[in-house]
Each structure stands twice: as C-alpha cells, then as structure tokens.
Amino acid sequence: MFESFRVYLRALELNDYQKSIKWRRDDELWSMVSGPKYFVSEAYEKKWVEDRIFHNADRLTLSVCIKDTEEHIGYVYLNHIDWKNRKAAFAKLIGEKQFWGKGFAKEATLLMLYHGFYVLGLERIEATPLIDNQASLKTNEKCGFKREGVLRRAVYKYGEFKDVFIMSVIRKDFDSVVKNLIIKED
C-alpha cells in the first residue's frame, strides 16, 4: 500500500545526531514546534539520540528517510505511550527545508500512524500542533486527525504564551484513511 511513498521510516542510528543538531540550531524550524528552543552541544544531541534508542519503553522515535537516496530528513514520534489505555502522543519534524510543503510530512505521518494502529495496537493517537503552524494542522487533518479543541496559552515560546490545537485520530478514523489510500492505488 505504501510503495508509491517517497519516504520510509527506520530505527534511529547513533550518527543521526549529526543531522538533528543542525535542525535544533535552526530558529525558523523551532518556531513551528511546540517544544522549547534550547542550546545543546553535539555531545548532548548524541546522548539524546542514544537515549531514544536505548530507553524507549513508553516512546518510539523513528527517522524519516528518502527512499531514493536514503537521506535522513526528519523524525516521527509516538511519545507517552499508554499501553493500558492504548494511546500515544504523535509529533513530526521534517528538518531538511527543501522537503517542506511537498507531502513528505504527510507520508511520514501516515507510516507512523499505520505502525501505531496496526502494529502496536493503539486506539487513539493525539497531536498538539501550535495554532500558528497551519502546515502541520493541515497535514494532520489529511491523515485523519480531528480537531478536539484549543489548549489556550499552553506553550511558552519566544517570550509569549501560544495556543495549541488538541487533535486526535482513532483507529476507526484511520481505517477510513487507509481504505481511501487503497482505493486510490487501485
């Protein structure tokens, strides 16, 4: 079903920090994510990747790569995996700007949601994009996420509080997205 996709997901490799340290230092990139901008050394970033590889009981971080070149262009995340209630928090980051606005984030999102629902057996996946990040919001909606509300002044960034959307996709909704993908490929 995903053969036409231009990206694939893979486990993190220790040297992935060499790309993500550049992304972490990019102010434009960090202005669009709900996480804080902070300064890190290469050693810190390398340890972050190592921790994501070796300490992952309640989270899954995968690298997003281009099929043709195997270039690592971003990450997708399932964080705060709640195995009892079968839910998790989703996030994505396409760090290489030449891949922005071309559907790569949508493909990576669909692949991670597929893994979350059909491999891990989750029932609900949530996301909290900044209200200012319309590209992320639209990508999430194309992948089956529904807006549930606004978390007012939930994130402090660059000296001010920002609102975030609370969105979710449940397994039944994603089943419809997958069905439509299959129909389009036939």
Kindly tell me if the per-residue pLDDT of 174 is higher than 70: yes
Q: List the strands of the sheet with 72-82, edge to edge.
A: 7-11, 60-66, 72-82, 87-94, 124-127, 160-170, 146-157
55 φ, ψ (degrees, to nearest 5): -125, 80
Kindly tell me if the per-residue pLDDT of 185 is higher than 70: no
Structure tokens at 82: 């709640």
The whole-model pTM stands at 0.95
Non-local (6+) Cβ contacts of 63 within 8 A are 9, 10, 11, 12, 13, 16, 72, 74, 75
Q: How confident is the model at residue 182 (pLDDT cuts 50, 70, 90)?
A: confident
Give CA–CA dist 105/137, Å, rounded.
11
pLDDT digits (tens, 9 = 90+) for 93-107: 999 999 999 999 999
pLDDT digits (tens, 9 = 90+) for 8-48: 999 999 999 999 999 999 999 988 998 877 788 999 999 99
Query: Could you tell me which CATH number the domain at 7-185 has?
Result: 3.40.630.30
Structure tokens at 77: 């995340």
pLDDT digits (tens, 9 = 90+) for 117-162: 999 999 999 999 999 999 999 999 999 999 999 999 999 988 899 9
Segments making up each domain of the chain, as ranges: 7-185
| Mean pLDDT of the chain, nearest integer | 94
